[in-house]
Amino acid sequence: MVAGPDVAIEVSGLRMRYGTKEVLDGVDFAVHRGEVVVLLGPNGAGKTTTIEILEGFRLPSGGGVRVLGEDPAQAGEAWRAEVGVVLQSWRDHGRWTVRELVGHYGEYYRPYATAERARPYPPDELLDRVGLAPQADQQVKKLSGGQRRRLDVAIGIVGRPRLLFLDEPTAGFDPVARRDFHDLIHRLSDLEDTTILLTTHDLAEAERLADRILILDGGRIVADGSAEQLARQVAGHTEVRWTSGGQRHVHATEDGAAFVRELFARFGEDVSELEVTRTTLEDTYLAMVARSDARRREDEVVPSHPEAVR
């Protein structure tokens, strides 16, 4: 496996087993420099396990992982300085003020500053960016859930990492906080060229943020592409509803425009109450996961290879 200079993450044949349970069963994917990739999947699909392996917090049972050209399990502190981790929100550092905490974690990155990349971010500038400037002197334990989460993001990016991992960053956000967070991710990606890998359960969020979406299910990547590409992989990705002859009709089609053209050619003015709906990411996601479920059931019922009999 040779990682090109533009590849930030390369994963091949990644396996993870807890006891007899196979959580990751040969995961392959790559993330390019500057890409924003969203990892989707049902609960227990192994999203968090995958991210923790990439962060270097967990040892895989097998397979190859390169993150910024190094094996995260062996990588040193200089590698650590290039990787930002947004942790789940806990209750740590409750007595610290917001500014002190961001300032403190920034300190660790100071020796890694270069002429072209000044680091860490000055605390006040960073707090302004994540919308926590008014809370700068507040104690961390007095922040609301959404503010606390933005603080976690601030600490994750204070060292201006080249690669950022976020595990369900917007869980518990209100819509305004969510919108602000999305803007922040866009800015990081556009202005800083930060490579970002995040997990979420929010499909609208995935669609807004992702250059590319990976769906992890049953320990494997079952889909890999942009939201549009994924939709195209699911049959009948446009739904057309109309009324003609006093009757309501529904038809799923690959090409909505062609179908509607034909519809008018055949029925003309008789067509009313026309609705054309593109498949949402949610439909795509549900279809993909259902497909992977069906495949798994098939494997269980009719063992397709000898190993599966055991």
CA–CA dist 243, 233 (Å, integer): 28
Cβ proximity to other proteins, 63 vs 225, nearer residue = 63
Q: Choose one: 76-84, 121-129, 208-216, 298-306; the region binding other proteins (CB under 8 A).
A: 76-84
**Is the omega angle on the peptide bond into residue 120 within 30 degrees of 0, that is, cis?**
yes
Among 155, 163, 188, 210, binds other proteins (CB under 8 A): 155
Per-residue x/- track, 109-148, other proteins (CB under 8 A): xxxx------------------------------------
Q: Select the residue interacting with other proteins from 104, 249, 295, 296 (CB under 8 A).
A: 104
CA contacts within 13 A on the Cβ side of 68: 25
Interaction between residue 24 and other proteins (CB under 8 A):
no
Which tokens hold the place of 207?
Answer: 């669609």
Separation of alpha carbons 167 and 78, rounded Å: 23
- Collapsing DSSP to helix, strand or coil, 140 comes out as helix
Paired residues of 253 in beta bridges: 238
Q: How far is the CB of 286 from other proteins (least distance, A)?
A: 26
| CA 108 to chain CA centroid, nearest Å | 27
Nearer CB in complex with other proteins: 123/256: 123
Which of 79, 259 has the CB closer to other proteins?
79
Taking the complex as a whole, the smallest distance from the CB of residue 100 to other proteins amounts, in Å, to: 6
Nearest approach, Cβ of residue 59 and other proteins (Å): 9
Looking at the DSSP assignment, which residues form a beta bridge with residue 224? 214
Q: Does 55 bind other proteins (CB under 8 A)?
A: yes
Three-state DSSP state, 249: strand
Give dist(CA 99, CA 5) in Å, integer: 36
Instruction: Look up residue 299 and give its amino acid.
Output: D
Catalog residues that contact other proteins under the rule CB under 8 A: 48-49, 51-52, 55, 57-58, 77-78, 80-81, 85, 87-88, 90-93, 95-96, 100, 104-105, 107-112, 155-156, 159, 167
